[in-house]
Amino acid sequence: MSYYERHIFFCLNQRENGENACAQHDAQAGFDHCKSRVKALGLAGKGGVRVNKAGCLDRCAGGPVAVVYPDATWYSYVDASDIDEIVEKHLKHGEVVERLVLPEHVGR
Amino acid sequence: MSYYERHIFFCLNQRENGENACAQHDAQAGFDHCKSRVKALGLAGKGGVRVNKAGCLDRCAGGPVAVVYPDATWYSYVDASDIDEIVEKHLKHGEVVERLVLPEHVGR
């Protein structure tokens, strides 16, 4: 059994060279909002949900991105309402939010 | 199918308050060594292995820790030879390195 039922990683990578990076697209705000919603809903912790900071996930072209494991579901989100939907549907109920899924071909 | 066949996250968290944190235990060296071995072996990339930086994974008592997804296998490692074994057995061949597995009860 997985230590966390669902473990979501947000790319918060910054680049100084002008290349595309999730931090330019309010990734920190997405992470912060997710973290606070998961906590408020009582989902956080062992056997539940962990919201994690991560470095570059190398799918920058779809940024800002996040990945939910062990499901291996990748998301590209825009704003707080997208995060709310990921929290409510996926992190709480295990239901993939299809409209936000990152297409398979999107890489760096 | 998972975008990466195996995605390993290393906690590189630092704390300023004197509490236990993976960065005090050479986590950066473990990450760097893993990243360079995976690259040297030609395992890196889509359909292969991704070696990722992460923030606190909240299992600090077992630090330094890393987790391999989608397998959801947690490791506590000590040195480069531990990393070599994780790379060779688990990341390359999908075989869990039992001697390094973090016990279920280890948390923050």
- pLDDT exceeds 90 at position A20: no
Does A105 reside within a domain?
A: no
Mutation to test the A interface, candidates B52, B71, B102, B108, most A Cβ within 10 Å: B52
**Does a cis peptide bond (omega within 30 degrees of 0) precede residue B70?**
yes
How many beta-carbon pairs below 8 A join chains A and B?
56
Alpha helices, H only, A5-89: 27-40, 80-85
Query: Does any domain span residue B102?
Result: no
Q: Each residue of A50-86: pLDDT tens digit?
A: 999 999 999 999 999 999 999 999 999 999 999 999 9
Report CA-CA distances (Å) from B69 to A32, B18, B25.
Answer: 23, 30, 22
Please give the mean pLDDT across all residues of chain A. 95
Please state the ipTM of this predicted complex: 0.96
Residue B107 lies in a domain: no
Q: Is residue A102 part of a domain?
A: no
Q: Which domain holds residue A42?
A: 6-96
Number of domains in chain A: 1
Bridge-based pairing state of the strands B73-76 and A73-76: unpaired
pTM above 0.95, yes or no: yes
What pLDDT does residue A10 have?
98
CATH code of residue A53: 3.40.30.10
